Structure 1
Amino acid sequence: MKNRFNNYTWGIAVALLFATMGCSKFEEINTDPEMPKVVNSSMISERIILGLANPPSQKSFMQPYMLTKQVAWTELPEGYQYNNLGEEESSLTGLNDAQYMVDFATTDGLAKSYAGIMHLARAIRFFEGTMKLGDIPYREALQGESEKVYFPKYDLQKDVFLGILAELEKADQLFQAGDKFTGDPVYAGNTLQWRKFTNTFALNVLIQLSRKAADPDLKVKERFKKIVDSGVLFASNADNFQLIRADKSGQTYPFYKVSNSFVIYPMVSSEIINPLKQKKDRRLFYYAAPSALKVANGKQQNDFDAYVGVDPSLPFGDIADIVVTKDFSKLNDRYSELVTGEPTQQYSYAQFCFIMAEATARGWIGGAAVDWYKRGIEASMKFAADNTPNQDQYTHKMFMDATYISAAIATYGQEFPQEIEKQIAEIILQKYLASYLQLSYTPYYDYRRTGYPVWKVNPSSSMNSEATDKIPVRWKYKDREYNYNSENVKEAVKRQFNGVDDPNQSMWLLK
């Protein structure tokens, strides 16, 4: 009994000791010195910008390029390769707390810059969502915390685009009035660079509205010309909205080989290789590796005929048979062997040049379409050359120096067609070739808008069950939208697609 009493009193004494003397020590011992104690504007900004700029890694990195027919995949039949887009939703992840980035700013100039990031990020995310789906929530989106709107209504796609364009205009004004800011892994807080990106992205939005150029509310051509006349636009590859990769955790190239079991699965598509071979374009040697079979049979690595593209529309069994023959081109080693790979672009100067070329061909702005067309090809070639070690393993003895690039773009210029529709076809093809393993879904959006490049569709392999002879033009709404916001999503499907959530029915944008 005495021992039990002593143990009891000892326990109380220990508890009191911790209570009176140990609280601060306990908190000190259990506080991670690496973890920030206070959230600030730059922390939120960095997370938002990285969310916009950083693509996923490994197999997920390759998914868009299966859809855009740049690679064929040999692991298993992939829906994106075989025209089954599945379901998607308008992802606004990371924007819920964007307003706090503005609220926490310590000066008015910083508040304006962070507000610019907020409006630009909103515009990009809403653009991505409506491009995939059609009508999406816009005016009532992200209102759950502030306005208790948990089941937002779906806005007409036209109204979403009007909102996007208004937010981009607002972002440009805010950056113009703002100060250099921290928390920027892309442009180091340079507000002029952010203005250039904002305006260049706005031109990308407007070119995707090419079928609506006559709409009196959108004023597509007038807006386009006004932005071009401002002159605050991309001017070189140095302006690219991209992440430069590094040999650090979380910063390596997304398809680098370490811990990446998927490096063995991609083949380079004939949709990429054949046009480059036809034009004797040395970008081929930077994008692909020679066929192992062709090399074994005596072809040299700097021979265009050593490179073999695979038709990504072939039935998977046929593709599996090709793997056994080794008569195909793998990705260039630089994509998996180099820890830094190449910078990953979301929006590029080359893309901007081809947008300008298309707008010029359509008569939206003055000038010669061929001049912008050549600049786009030049930017693409320089980007590949500047970001690839001049070693045979990566250039296959076909280095693109200044002399080659100058001669190549001159030849492209001489062969540029005269007929407007053929000009647009050639511009979109070169925009596509410049986007190899870059720009995510942009080539798909161009394809469904213009029909170029003319990708092969094979009914015998297509997973687009409703129309095996077509590539779908949209994703379906996710099941959880029907589960949690049923009334609003059903109303949107009814007004757009006669009540059937069909991936082959055109959204307003494409009509």
Structure 2
Amino acid sequence: MKLNKKLILLLATAGIGLTACQNFEELEQNPNKPSKASPSLLLTSIENDFYEAPWNDVQRWNQYWCSNYNYYATQEYSWTGGGMNYLTLNNIKQMEHEAQKTGLPAKNVYASLAKFFKAFFYVDMTMRMGDIPMSEALQTGNGIFKPKYNTQKEVFLQAFTWLDEANTELTALIAANDNNLSGDFLLNGKLIGWQKAVNAYKLRLLIHLSKKESDAELKIKQRFAETLANPAKYPLPGSNSDNLQYVYNSSTNKYPLNPDNYGNTATRNNMSATYLNTLVNLKDPRTFIVADPAPAKIAAGLTPADFEAYVGASSGESLDDMSSKVNKGEYSFIRKDRYYQYLGEPCVQIGYVELCFNIAEAISRGWVAGNAAEYYNKGISGSMQSYAISTDAINAYLAQPAITLAGNADEALKQILLQKYLGFFQNSGWEAYYNQRRTGVPAFLVGPGTANSQRIPKRFQYPSSEHTNNKENLEKALDAQFAGKDDINDAMWILK
């Protein structure tokens, strides 16, 4: 929420006059609008901006589902300019200011969460575009209207500083039993929950930097090992109950797919082969929970209990072909009785399942000592538990030779990454794409339907506002990163 004053000057020519002695400050006030916001109100707005919904375009680009009807969406990766987060970052800055105005000390709950959110929103931009303005951003009060760009490495280093400071401050606030946080609809003021999310997010960023593991300044292996080795200092989520997630209710925030839009969209969205066919090939019980069987398969004599009855469409298929095959009943729809509800399942933003797979990956890469299979199994179990799959069914799945973690390090890493992809289904925003972009797992399907010359892009372009308002600094950043081009298929620093 952006706070603006409206100056309304009524220049009357018919019987209304303004005397010179009237107070100008009185004239500029609009009694129907608030002139300031509490830190709690700003926090609510920031959390809404932080939330990444399920069943949106990002999840199509993650290749979890497909649109078979052009009016609503396509699978095309024809990306242009990415969005900037500076309005939200300005609200974070304002939240810090308003918290101190209420009399809270400099180190307070809002200031600590502000550090987490600053890390998140700056990293969010750099992960999508590359170098971004950071150190000189939001400095118009100091006369800086055209901020310089910081490198991706500088953004990550600053993010680690903010996250470690937030963790330290939250430890002190929890010890002091500080309960001065309101406006927090994600965790309802539970500071230990926020501290666990901060540290889990830090491990996520370290995993994103796997290609830079030898960088002496980033200290990726050291940071990961220190965090994992000291749970008293760096508490981490221990189960799905520690998830930082968005919970839906039927009154104020309905699940994105719900009975109100069932008639318009239920048959125009189907499952993606990248996701669903992987479940089928692995005899995964999540198959029966997330999808309906393909009608043609049932007509041919299969039952909803048969894995072979479930078929996803390639995201690369042309929309005409996909639509034709959907009309013939060849593809599985989204499990309509599960997902078309007002009270849908919570949408995890930072969670336990991802954490388990990140730890398994770090062990597999040799960053830390430990049993990769233990965390791999915990990640699979945690995901299946969130679907209420029985313990017996989970254990039977884990016992399959194709699921048991391989002794070969390269094969084991592929298994970990694939299961992390399955665990991200309709959760955590861009994370499935970011992990695929970094590792190539799973292989995303391409073709006429994905456009972009059948390539998966590596980034967004910078928004047109930067070309207009900050052209000189943008051109320097493009020269430094991409030989002057702003191409969605060029690899940014983090991928090299």
Which structure 1 residue ranges, 4+ long, deviate > 4 Å from structure 2? 35-38, 77-80, 106-111
Q: Aligned residue for 1:171? A: 166
Q: Aligned residue for 1:27? A: none
CA deviations on 1:228-262 (whole Å, 9 max, x unpaired) are 1231011110111111111112x111222314633
Q: Aligned residue for 2:227? A: 227
- Report how far residue 77 of structure 1 moved: 8.7
- Corresponding letter in the other structure for 1:148: G
- Corresponding letter in the other structure for 1:219: K
Give the direction of change, closer, same or farther, for the CA distance of 1:489–1:114 in structure 2 (3 Å limit): same
Are 1:245 and 1:341, in contact at CA under 8 Å, matched by a contact in 2?
yes
- SS of the equivalent of 1:375 reads helix
Give the direction of change, closer, same or farther, for the CA distance of 1:275–1:413 in structure 2 (3 Å limit): closer
- Report how far residue 308 of structure 1 moved: 1.2
| Match among 466, 483, 490 for residue 481 of structure 1 | 466
Are 1:71 and 1:269, in contact at CA under 8 Å, matched by a contact in 2?
yes
- Report how far residue 299 of structure 1 moved: 2.0
Q: Aligned partners of 1:507, 1:277: CA distance in 2, in Å?
A: 34
- Report how far residue 412 of structure 1 moved: 6.5
- SS of the equivalent of 1:311 reads coil
Give the direction of change, closer, same or farther, for the CA distance of 1:480–1:412 in structure 2 (3 Å limit): farther
- Report how far residue 36 of structure 1 moved: 7.0
Give the direction of change, closer, same or farther, for the CA distance of 1:236–1:325 in structure 2 (3 Å limit): same
Aligned ranges for residues 64-213 of structure 1 at < 5 Å?
64-76=58-70, 81-105=75-99, 106=102, 108=104, 111-144=107-140, 146-178=141-173, 179-180=178-179, 181-213=181-213
- Report how far residue 457 of structure 1 moved: 2.6
- Corresponding letter in the other structure for 1:452: V
- Report how far residue 113 of structure 1 moved: 1.1
Q: Aligned partners of 1:477, 1:227: CA distance in 2, in Å?
A: 34
Q: Aligned residue for 2:286? A: 283
Q: Aligned residue for 1:312? A: 315
Are 1:67 and 1:80, in contact at CA under 8 Å, matched by a contact in 2?
no
CA deviations on 1:60-107 (whole Å, 9 max, x unpaired) are x42011111111211229987233222213323322132343333346
Q: Aligned residue for 2:364? A: 361
- SS of the equivalent of 2:348 reads strand
Q: Aligned partners of 1:470, 1:94: CA distance in 2, in Å?
A: 32
Q: Does 1:299 align with 2:294?
A: no
CA deviations on 1:139-164 (whole Å, 9 max, x unpaired) are 011222x3232211111111111111
Q: Aligned partners of 1:480, 1:103: CA distance in 2, in Å?
A: 27
CA deviations on 1:197-244 (whole Å, 9 max, x unpaired) are 000000001100000000011001101111112310111101111111
Q: Aligned partners of 1:414, 1:62: CA distance in 2, in Å?
A: 30
Are 2:353 and 2:383, in contact at CA under 8 Å, matched by a contact in 1?
yes
Q: Aligned partners of 2:374, 2:114: CA distance in 1, in Å?
A: 35
What TM-score do the two structures reach when normalised by structure 2? Answer: 0.87
- SS of the equivalent of 1:267 reads strand
CA deviations on 1:13-67 (whole Å, 9 max, x unpaired) are xx9xxxxxxxxxxxxxx977xx878632211112212221253x8xxx4201111
The runs of 5 or more residues in structure 1 that have no matched partner are: 1-10, 16-29, 386-399
Q: Aligned residue for 2:3? A: none
Aligned ranges for residues 44-83 of structure 1 at < 5 Å?
44-53=42-51, 55=53, 61-76=55-70, 81-83=75-77
Q: Aligned residue for 1:434? A: 423
Are 2:67 and 2:73, in contact at CA under 8 Å, matched by a contact in 1?
no
Q: Aligned partners of 2:401, 2:149: CA distance in 1, in Å?
A: 45
- Report how far residue 276 of structure 1 moved: 1.2
Q: Aligned residue for 1:456? A: 445
Aligned residues: 460
Q: Aligned partners of 2:357, 2:112: CA distance in 1, in Å?
A: 26
Are 2:249 and 2:342, in contact at CA under 8 Å, matched by a contact in 1?
yes
Q: Aligned residue for 1:256? A: 258
- Corresponding letter in the other structure for 1:45: L
Q: Aligned partners of 2:338, 2:139: CA distance in 1, in Å?
A: 41
- SS of the equivalent of 1:305 reads helix
Give the direction of change, closer, same or farther, for the CA distance of 1:80–1:345 in structure 2 (3 Å limit): farther
| Match among 255, 265, 270 for residue 267 of structure 1 | 270
- Report how far residue 475 of structure 1 moved: 0.8
Q: Aligned partners of 2:396, 2:190: CA distance in 1, in Å?
A: 35
Are 2:197 and 2:351, in contact at CA under 8 Å, matched by a contact in 1?
no
Aligned ranges for residues 11-30 of structure 1 at < 5 Å?
none
Q: Aligned partners of 1:414, 1:90: CA distance in 2, in Å?
A: 40
Give the direction of change, closer, same or farther, for the CA distance of 1:220–1:463 in structure 2 (3 Å limit): same
- Report how far residue 271 of structure 1 moved: 1.1
Q: Aligned partners of 1:501, 1:54: CA distance in 2, in Å?
A: 26
Are 1:89 and 1:133, in contact at CA under 8 Å, matched by a contact in 2?
no
- SS of the equivalent of 2:250 reads coil
CA deviations on 1:133-191 (whole Å, 9 max, x unpaired) are 110011011222x3232211111111111111111111112212222321111111121
CA deviations on 1:269-298 (whole Å, 9 max, x unpaired) are 111122211221110111111112222333
- SS of the equivalent of 1:87 reads coil
- Report how far residue 413 of structure 1 moved: 8.6
Identify the range of structure 1 (262-271 vs 357-366) with the bigger mean alpha-carbon deviation. Answer: 262-271
Identify the range of structure 1 (355-364 vs 68-77) with the bigger mean alpha-carbon deviation. Answer: 68-77
Q: Aligned partners of 1:169, 1:322: CA distance in 2, in Å?
A: 52
Q: Aligned residue for 1:424? A: 413
- Corresponding letter in the other structure for 1:476: Q
Give the direction of change, closer, same or farther, for the CA distance of 1:324–1:97 in structure 2 (3 Å limit): closer
Q: Aligned partners of 2:182, 2:137: CA distance in 1, in Å?
A: 28
Identical positions, percent: 31
Give the direction of change, closer, same or farther, for the CA distance of 1:423–1:103 in structure 2 (3 Å limit): same
- Corresponding letter in the other structure for 1:120: F
Are 2:52 and 2:429, in contact at CA under 8 Å, matched by a contact in 1?
no
Q: Aligned partners of 2:227, 2:277: CA distance in 1, in Å?
A: 36
Give the direction of change, closer, same or farther, for the CA distance of 1:191–1:174 in structure 2 (3 Å limit): same
Q: Aligned partners of 1:327, 1:307: CA distance in 2, in Å?
A: 9
Asked which structure has the greater CA Rg, the reply is 1
What TM-score do the two structures reach when normalised by structure 1? Answer: 0.85
Q: Aligned residue for 1:245? A: 248
